Amino acid sequence: MAISKEEVIYIDNYLKFLGVKYMDIRLEILDHLASEFENIQEPTSLGDFLRTKRSFVKRYENQWQKAKHWAHQRALIKRIIGYFYKPNQLFIPICIGIFFGFNATLLPKSLIAISFCISLIVPQCIHFYIYYKPEGIYKNIQSAKYILSIMALPSIFMYLMGIMAPIIKESPTVFYAYWFFAMVFNIAGLQEVMTLKRQIVKTYSKLISN
Amino acid sequence: MGNSKLYKGSLNTIILKLLDEEGKMYGYEITQKVKELSKGELNITEGALYPALHKLEAEGLLDVEVAKVDNRLRKYYKLTKQGEKETVNRLAELEDFIRSMQQLVNPDWSIQ
């Protein structure tokens, strides 16, 4: 027997009570619990049934987050590798090379330092804006957190800046290599963010409209 | 089944095989289908199923689809192109493993 609308709302409220605040996670747990409850043969109250599922609900959120985090980091690495062999993406490392050439030949050292800092900071700012903008739908969607996690890897270049500074100053080769990879990671990160943003909007517009 | 450790390593392959046959399935449906096919011998708990589904999704082998069913939304899992290829490989690996185990445990009745 199909579960009623009131029972669906009851399960949803119970999940909120247990602290499952993201709607995409609630959707999956709710569907599983509703399907299982519909198939119980003996008469059981919904409240009693849900109490037996508490530990499953608690565990669920953590393991989901972990799996997704590494999936997106892997996708980021895959995208970066693609820049060096996919014909339609080769223009990215080439453009970075031209940009470096412009910096090295035309700009004074002080402006190169500014150019370097801006190229590292701006992509990070864009992705933070995407997630935290006030009218964004992402606050209620767990998957949107991955938008942040994707950029964790490119952020490493910013964290390393202090440690790398003496070596970077000594050797222009190390400096440009460091800058090159920082830019490649940042561009790939932003591309991943945009792709995921589109997917999230598409999938969860359905959820929000219900 | 008495010892769930014996099938734990094959859970992902079981899921891939089912999705290959059925096209798309939702979580609870997978647990019930396994129970039905194994005549109640295998019981996949939700605690084992969803981590496996999420792992396969993370590896790019599964895709998800959200559909409205009765009074709620349902999340269906289906194989990606990569998932279809991987299913063939993993089934072959599993068959090899079963064959080797048969030869070890009972050489007289190994699978042909």
Q: Which domain holds residue B14?
A: 5-109
Span B39-76, pLDDT tens digits: 878 888 888 888 888 888 878 899 888 888 877 888 89
CATH of residue B35's domain is 1.10.10.10
User: What's residue A207's pLDDT?
Assistant: 56
Residues A7, A43 contacting (CB under 8 angstroms):
no
Span A46-95, pLDDT tens digits: 899 999 888 888 888 777 767 677 777 888 888 899 999 999 889 999 99
User: What's residue A62's pLDDT?
Assistant: 72
CA dihedral A80, A90, B85, A193 (to 10 degrees): 40
Contact across the interface for B27 and A31, Cβ inside 8 Å: yes
Nearest residue, CB atoms, B73 vs list A3, A31, A36: A31
Among B11-20, B54-63, B84-93, the minimum mean pLDDT is found in B54-63
- Give chain B positions within 8 Å (CB) of A32: 26-28, 46, 50
User: What's residue B17's pLDDT?
Assistant: 94
CA separation for the pair A55, B46 (Å, rounded) = 11
Contact across the interface for A27 and B58, Cβ inside 8 Å: no
Cβ-defined contacts of A14-19 (< 8 Å, 24+): A14/A50, A15/A57, A18/A54, A18/A57, A18/A58
Number of domains in chain B: 1
Contact across the interface for B59 and A71, Cβ inside 8 Å: yes
* Predicted ipTM beyond 0.90: no
Estimate to the nearest angstrom the gap between the alpha carbon of A166 and the chain centroid: 32
Between residues A1 and B84, which one has the greater pLDDT? Answer: B84
Among A39-43, A81-85, B3-7, B79-83, the minimum mean pLDDT is found in B3-7
Contact across the interface for A68 and B73, Cβ inside 8 Å: no
| Residue A2 φ/ψ, nearest 5 degrees | -65, 140
- Give chain A positions within 8 Å (CB) of B27: 28, 31-32, 35
Between residues B31 and A170, which one has the greater pLDDT? Answer: B31
HSE, CB side, 13 Å, CA atoms: give it for residue B91: 14
| Substitution target from A31, A40, A62 for chain B, most B beta carbons within 10 A | A31
